[in-house]
Amino acid sequence: MSTVIHQFLEQAERNPAHVAVLDIQGAITYDRMNNLSAYLAERILEGIGGKDCRGRIALLLPRSKAFVVAQFAVLRAGCAVVPIDAEYPAERVRLILEDVGCALCVTTADLAEKAAGYPVLRIEEIFPESGNDPKGDKTLNLSDPDAEGYILYTS
């Protein structure tokens, strides 16, 4: 059985220069998304204790290319994605983090305070504004078709 990560890696191998994600600030190619998501997946694994750990990883990020890259990184790390609306008040964010048993929260420096008391990984520290992108293991894929993949909280 194939996962979305398997499909993505096949597409990235076949069409590395094609656009994978597009937002108002520009585009990311499959190759760049592969590099960034692999690198972030490695940082997530370091943050939760290694490749044998599975966890629920919160994404407290604005709607952007970085959010999509982070979703793929979480799935590549074999963890479950817990998206949290960046507009939620801090109290609601912490309630979700507690309820889900958050292992790590990927966020921005501006939003990190909403996740106070939980381990955070700031996206700016992973993806520099300029210069060369960090590169990770482009073959990293710990996704499991039978594992928890996505937990969505609604109002």
Cβ neighbors of 10 (< 8 A, separation 6 or more) are none
* Predicted pLDDT at 59: 98
DSSP 113: G
Using the predicted structure, report yes or no on whether residue 3 has a pLDDT greater than 70.
yes
Judged against a pLDDT cut of 90, whether residue 33 lies above it is answered with yes
What percentage of the chain has pLDDT greater than the value 70?
95
Say if residue 49's pLDDT is above 90: no
Q: If you average pLDDT over residues 128-154, what whole number do you get?
A: 83
Q: What is the mean pLDDT of residues 43-58?
A: 87
| Alpha-carbon span 26 to 17, nearest angstrom | 14
Distance CA 67, CA 106 (A): 9
C-alpha to C-alpha distance for 39 and 44, rounded to whole angstroms: 9
Q: Give the residue-averaged pLDDT of 77-82.
A: 96
Q: How many angstroms separate the Cα of 59 from the Cα of each of 15, 67, 92, 155?
A: 27, 7, 14, 17
Give the burial class of 132: count Cβ atoms within 10 A of its Cβ; 0-12 exposed, 13-18 middle, 19 or more buried: exposed
- Amino acid in position 17: A
Helix (H) or strand (E) holding 126: helix 123-126
Please indicate whether residue 131 or residue 8 has the higher confidence score (pLDDT).
8
Q: What is the pLDDT of residue 130?
A: 58
Q: Is pLDDT larger for residue 134 or for residue 75?
A: 75
pLDDT recorded at residue 1: 60
47 vs 63: CA distance, rounded Å: 23
From the list 62, 85, 83, 66, the residue with the least C-alpha distance to 21 is 66
The mean pLDDT value for 68-79 works out to: 95
Render pLDDT for 82-107 as a digit per residue (tens, 0 to 9). Answer: 999 999 999 999 999 999 999 999 99
User: At 132, is the pLDDT very low, low, confident or very high (cuts 50, 70, 90)?
Assistant: confident
Please tell me which residue, 18 or 153, carries the higher pLDDT value.
18
